[in-house]
Amino acid sequence: MEKILVFGHKSPDTDTIASSIAMAYLQTKLGNTAVPKRLGNISKETEYALNHFKIGAPELISSVSEDDTVILVDHNEPAQSADGIADAHVYMVVDHHRINGFTTPEPVYYYAEPVGCTCTIIYKLFNDNNVVIPADVAGLMLSAIISDTLLFKSPTCTDKDRKVAEDLAKIAGVDINTYGLAMLKAGTDLTSFSAEELVSLDGKQVTLADTVKAKISQVNTADIDDVMTRKEKIEAAMQKDIDSLGLDLDVFLITDIINSNSQVIVLGSRADIVEKAYSVKLENNTAFLPGIVSRKKQVIPVLTSNV
């Protein structure tokens, strides 16, 4: 088989990068030629993890073509994938998100589980295929689980994620809490980002209930107030997105990963969906959402059912 390109979603987070690297490694051990790629800039959190375990970042690509064979990890929706994905040959998908808009002309290997992190699933694939996970790759996979579950505090976290993380920590030789808090804190240093960068760092475009074009962005922080001092600039950046992308709804979640709450800034003609979904009144376009930390489990489905 020709070379397989392995990549996760646009605006890559730690799970997307770790999954790409781990899956490319696994495929290579299974006799395929596979290389990890990425569709955007590395976050500070991911950079911390890559540096800690001395692994290089995947090469940046923006598009694929009909000549490419690809493995999608940590995503399936075409809008979140590489440009030209509809023309590429999808060899495999391993994901933990809902399936939406994914289609192939022929049957394909597709494995999704409702767990907190793609790397939890990839760990199972290593075991199923009797491939040993090297310490550095294990460390990176552990970083992904810590990142996606906010150190097991997110409601998306399952027992499987916890058990796999414990096993990976042993292989990697790190203490989960010490390493995890250091990594998460490295990821919350938002000072060097402009408002435009904040709204695109981890921004996902979704169409809610087939009708509402939305963008839902999220940043993690240890200090919501600190981010809110830049509210006006963030709103201006969001308005730019609304105009250029034709959005009906733009949601910016500022998530306090220490206390597990979010402050939300909402713009767009359908801002009412957020008010209805969480029974809150937006004041100056913002509201506090206690206990809300998971975009995938606590935001997208809740907004979808309140369109």
Tell me the C-alpha to C-alpha distance, in Å, between residue 47 and each of 64, 89, 181, 205.
Answer: 25, 30, 15, 24
The letter for the amino acid at 71 is I
Could you say which residues in the range 12-31 bind a copy of itself, by CB under 8 A?
none
97: contact with a copy of itself by CB under 8 A = yes
**Quick one: 92 or 140, whose CB is closer to a copy of itself?**
92
State how far the Cα of 115 lies from the Cα of 145, in Å rounded to an integer: 10
Residue 97 sits at the vertex; the CA angle it makes with 95 and 103, to the nearest 5 degrees, is 75
The continuous run of DSSP H or E covering 109 comes out as strand 109-112
Q: Which residues pair with 215 in a beta bridge?
A: 205, 250
Nearer to a copy of itself by Cβ, of 147 and 200: the residue is 147
Query: Would you count residue 65 as binding a copy of itself (CB under 8 A)?
Result: no
Contact 219, 255 (CB under 8 A): yes
The answer to the question of residue 112 lying near a copy of itself (CB under 8 A) is: yes
Tokens at residue 257, please? 């990963």
Q: Which of 66, 67, 128, 159 binds a copy of itself (CB under 8 A)?
A: 128
106: contact with a copy of itself by CB under 8 A: yes
Distance CA 135, CA 143 (A): 12
The least CB distance from residue 89 to a copy of itself, in Å, is: 12
- Check binding of 102 to a copy of itself (CB under 8 A): yes
Query: Considering the complex, what minimum distance in angstroms separates the CB of residue 18 from a copy of itself?
Result: 18
Among 1, 3, 33, 114, binds a copy of itself (CB under 8 A): 114
Q: Which stretch binds a copy of itself (CB under 8 A): 14-22, 110-118, 212-220, 221-229?
A: 110-118
Shortest distance in whole angstroms from residue 124 CB to a copy of itself:
9
| Residue showing tokens 């970083």 | 143
d(C-alpha 260, C-alpha 269), whole Å: 28
Q: Which residues bind a copy of itself (CB under 8 A)?
A: 96-114, 128, 296-297, 300-301, 304-305
